[in-house]
Structure formats: structure tokens, C-alpha cells
Structure 1
């Protein structure tokens, strides 16, 4: 069973982040922020001015006590050592912000919003230096590790884009509705009715591989090669939309969370880098290398061999509620998955040794 962290919020938790030092912060509706200690008790609470929903929280890469938060159209900077009124605000977006990302040199912050814009802020001058754009809501943006000028984004226009801050136009774009047309599965035929609106992105620690979760229940894995990226892998992860994907610090372990109430753990490392003309077809014919397992009510169970055709999750957590956000933290010496959903609590699940 999940351990529930309670007492930090009075409404739905929308986002989570974990600092390099292991501090956990959650953001919720109506401007609520909570800082948690390792035992799951609130160590600090704050309601941001304006009481707009807190939609994204991210720690500075170089200053582990500095926290960036988005609420409405505003980005606020806070010091978690004293969770009080924000130190400063940026107001560069014109519509509600959905996602923040800070590069690993702490020089730029990107904010994706409902207008489709991604505003890039120079954190030294505190000014927007770039406005990148999707044609519909931009749901997720992520800087690539070790490449402070490079970022990827996705949106409800079904586009996934690769950007370099020296250019205002994307270096490369893929439309998810066209991506994977080699797959003749019923899911592909049904894309007209359940289009692959892109909800979430995460970049692996190598900086060259990233995952995307979409409304059609699929997870897609891409590899960046120079100024473009190619689809490496595509698999049906969830029965409903994939709301969150998260690469863990290990090279190619990926968590996905869905509107079906499931949290799945995948090992895509054995598949990434294989040269295949039709990855979707060939993966369906190939058996998984390792047995999958399922966790329900805290118990770890083997998944039947009939489910092991193609790419299968190494772990299934039956969370039961639509997933708003996923994060991962080291707590008391072991790795845990943190899940935010429609409730006012944060659910914490243990992970097996990887």
C-alpha cells in the first residue's frame, strides 16, 4: 500500500519536484505550496499571492534552496530555507503556465503556456530572450542535460519539437499523429478518435534520449542525433492518456503515469539504440528479456507470460487515481515514487532495487 503524506494541502496536488539534496516540494490548487521532510510531514507551507493554481515547481540546478514556481501567468522565485513571500516574480507569459524547466547551468528558465508559447528567461538579466511557439497549448518543455542551449517541447498540437536557443524556429519537428504509421495495430486506426495529444516529456540523463507520453495511451522514445531526433521505440503504456513520463537517474529507466490510475516502470535501455526499420512491429514479435511484475496493495506479483510480448512494464503500481505528476526521491536510504493525483495528499511507493 502507498504511504500517504497528508496535511500539506487542502486541495488537489498538481505538481512535485525534488531537489538535489532530497527536499520535496508540492504545488496544489489555489496557490498552495508545501515543503516536506523525509518522514512525510509538512516542513513548510505557503499560499502564493493571487491564489492561482500552482502548475509547476522546479529547483535551481546550482542553488538547491532556490525554487521556481508557476502560478497562473506568473513565475515566482522562493527560498525553501524560509518559505515566505517570493523573493521576486517574472511575468513574461500571457496565458497560464503549464510547465517550467531550468537548464543545468542555471542560466535559462523555460516556461510553456496555454497559448502555445515557450518563454525563455535569462536568469541573470531576468528578461525573456526567446519566444518559441506551438500552434496549440504547450504542455511540457525540458532542457537537455549537458546541453544548456538545447530543449525539447510538446503540446496539444501533437507536435514534438527540438530547439536551440540561438534560433527562434525549431531545429526539428515530429507530428505524433504521423509518427508510428508503420504500426498496423487497432490503436493506430483509432488515432482519429483518440489523437496523440502530447502531455509530458522527460529527457534521460545522457541528454540524447527522451520520452513522450500522449493521450492515445502510448509512450514514445526518441533519440536526438545532431539537429534532429528519430523515433527509437513506441509502446502502448496505458489504457487511457499518459499524463506523465519521468526518466530516473539510471540511464534508461522510465516511469509513466496515466489517466487510467496506473504508474508503470519501464526499462527501455535494452531497446534504445537498436537499428530497426519498423520498431513498432518488431517489438510486438519480440519477447521481453526480463519478467514483468505487478504491485497491488503493496504486493509484488509476476505478470503472466501472455502479457510479455513486446515492451512490458517491469513494475505496475495500481494507484487507482488519475496521475497529475510523478517524481522520484531517495528517502531513508531507498528509492520511492511520489505520485500526485486529484486528492490533497502525496502518495509514496517503494521501488525495488533496479
Structure 2
């Protein structure tokens, strides 16, 4: 399905300011953050059921707690507020530990740690039990645009930034355990003629990373219009392939982990396109959830070449090169008509939906139907 599909969307009017970020709880409640401090909670029918203004600073990122459905964290300016959506009178907790504007926050699946990435390139790690900063990760030389914890590895997280670097971190260390420069990777792609359909020559400033539910596969969207896929192999991540479908920078990529398709990826960009990719056939899909013993052996990922939790179909080098050069087409293309600020996906009683925040003061909901 392709073409212009903006009229397919249901619109929720969010107020007077553009919506910048979204998150969806496991119960199907939606939280939105907007310019000038706007924060709202919605039900799936598009009705606002709570709102609060967070001191006038733009709300840049929102993350629901994984263990308490009523708690949500929101970054605004240099601060992070913990909110109880049952009573949105004032924050129940306030963290002011970053020295510059926060771009992204992430909470690990055990709710033990929160990571906050800011314009200085720093990532502050907050222990949510002690409410103290336990790590300051400083390796990005430019704005750190995104940070995300890996499912099944609560001590492991990824970051990316406008220095074109993607980094894998272990909370036990102050230096990244793995780093890739997308500019170097771009040169390798060109040398290997892996550029079919990718004609944009913008620098690969890294905007956003997302991790699949297996914890071993992640994607990164960049300013050069490409989406690059990586997966865990042994002690490091390795480049798998690139996806080309956007003709301007890719601002958002999200594995739709809340849906029943663990390798569905949704992307949105400055070209106002929304693309749905089904990667089940293109990447190794027999990942297993790591056992407790394997997680104890490695808090970052897999420590041996045959580590549990990183199993996959064996491929020769020739096969891998062939797979990387295959040109993958999106399963669905939507001409949204406006630059994308944020994307979230949700599955409510078998109904697959995506929510889009853009430059307008509305939230758009697309029902994916039988896609």
C-alpha cells in the first residue's frame, strides 16, 4: 500500500502547541508532550483525560514506567519529572541532573535505572531507588540525540548522536564497549555498492535508535535518509543491512514491540513519509530470550561466539554479503503530509495502530487493519 494516505488518519486535537513526543502504556493509555510544557494523557478514543503544564519548557521525551502503569516520566528543559497520571496536579518527583537540554530518556525494563541524553553529549544514569546519579557517560562529541535500554539486558543501553556515532554501553563501565561511526560505515557501503535507492548525500547524523524485543537487533535512523540495521554477534554488534525509502533525514525509527510482529519497523522522516518495514525475512529471526544464566555471564550481551540468546541461522560470508545487498521494499508507505516528530505503536485487542506527532497541534492515529 502506498501513496497519499493522510486522510486515513483519525485526528486528536492536542492544543495550541506542536506535539513533540508520545508514549503508550501497556494498558493503551497515551501520553503526549508538546512545546511550551504541554503534557496530556489520552484514552484510545482520542479523549484527553488529564493535562499539566511543566514550567513552559518543551516536553522532549516521555516514558511510561514498566512496572507501574500510572507512573510516567517526562523530560522538559534540563529537568525530568515523574508524574502520576491518576492525579496530575504536580510532579511526584523532580530530577535536575543534566547540564543541558534533554533530548531523550529511557527506562530499563526493571525500572531500576533511567538514562537521560542531552545537548552536551552526556548521558546521566539515575538509580531510581536511591534517586542518585550513578554514572555520567561522556563520549559523544556533539548532541546526544537518543538513548535506549536493551530488552532483557537492564545493564546495557545504546546511544547515538549528531557526531555520527552509535555506542553500546554497560552500566558497569564509563566507556562504551562498542562504537561505530556511521560516516565510516557509509564509505564501506559505497565501496560495496550497497547504495541502491540511497541517493541522499547529507552527513549521517544519527537521530534515533530502536531495539527489537529480542534485545539483539537494533536500527538507527540518520540524516542521510538511511536506516541501518545491526545485530549482536559475540561481544559486539555488526552491521547487517541498510533500508532506503526516505529522501530526507529519518527522524524516527521504532520496532513495534507492542505488536505481535517482533520485526516490524516503522520509520518517519522529514520527507513527511511514514514507512512500515517487515524485516522477518531479511534478518535472522530465531533469536531466543536469553536465559538467566546467560544474562549473569554478560550484562552487556553475549560473551562468547556461541552465547545463549544470540543464536541465529548460520550464513557464510558470501551469503551475508548477498543479504546486505538485497534491496528491501517497505510493506506500507503513507504520505503523511507533515514532518514527523514522533511515532508510537500499540495493539489494542488485536487492532494494530500507530500514532504520529508532527509539526501540527494534532496527533494522528492510523489503523493498520489487515496489513
Q: TM (normalized to structure 2)?
A: 0.84
Deviation digits for residues 21-61 of structure 1 (CA, Å, limit 9, x no counterpart)? 11100000000001111210111111112x10000000011
Contact 1:234 1:279 in 2 (8 A): no
Equivalences for residues 1-354 of structure 1 within 5 A: 1-6=8-13, 8-49=14-55, 51-133=56-138, 134-180=140-186, 181-183=188-190, 184=193, 193-249=201-257, 250-273=261-284, 275=315, 277=317, 282-283=322-323, 286=326, 310-331=327-348, 333-353=350-370
Aligned-residue offset at 1:201: 0.7
Rounded to whole Å, the distance in 2 between the matches of 1:349 and 1:264 is: 12
Contact 1:234 1:280 in 2 (8 A): no
Which stretch shifts more, 67-76 or 216-225?
Answer: 216-225
Rounded to whole Å, the distance in 1 between the matches of 2:316 and 2:81 is: 45
How has the CA–CA distance of structure 1 residues 320 and 156 changed in structure 2, closer, same or farther, with 3 Å as cutoff?
same
Rounded to whole Å, the distance in 2 between the matches of 1:188 and 1:261 is: 18
Contact 2:207 2:250 in 1 (8 A): yes
**Structure 2 unaligned regions, length at least 5:** 1-7, 285-312
Rounded to whole Å, the distance in 2 between the matches of 1:278 and 1:323 is: 37
Rounded to whole Å, the distance in 2 between the matches of 1:248 and 1:222 is: 17
* 3-state SS, counterpart of residue 157 of structure 2: strand
Q: TM (normalized to structure 1)?
A: 0.88
How has the CA–CA distance of structure 1 residues 227 and 186 changed in structure 2, closer, same or farther, with 3 Å as cutoff?
closer
Deviation digits for residues 214-233 of structure 1 (CA, Å, limit 9, x no counterpart)? 00000011102343100111
Aligned-residue offset at 1:271: 1.4
Contact 2:105 2:116 in 1 (8 A): yes
Rounded to whole Å, the distance in 2 between the matches of 1:210 and 1:189 is: 20
How has the CA–CA distance of structure 1 residues 251 and 137 changed in structure 2, closer, same or farther, with 3 Å as cutoff?
same
Contact 1:232 1:279 in 2 (8 A): no
* 3-state SS, counterpart of residue 170 of structure 1: coil
Deviation digits for residues 98-151 of structure 1 (CA, Å, limit 9, x no counterpart)? 001000000000000000001000000111101112111000110000110000
Contact 1:9 1:34 in 2 (8 A): no
Aligned positions, number: 328
Structure scoring higher RCO (CA < 8 A, sep ≥ 6) equals 2
Aligned-residue offset at 1:10: 1.2
**Structure 1 unaligned regions, length at least 5:** 287-309
Contact 1:197 1:214 in 2 (8 A): yes
How has the CA–CA distance of structure 1 residues 314 and 90 changed in structure 2, closer, same or farther, with 3 Å as cutoff?
same
* 3-state SS, counterpart of residue 86 of structure 2: helix
Rounded to whole Å, the distance in 1 between the matches of 2:271 and 2:198 is: 21
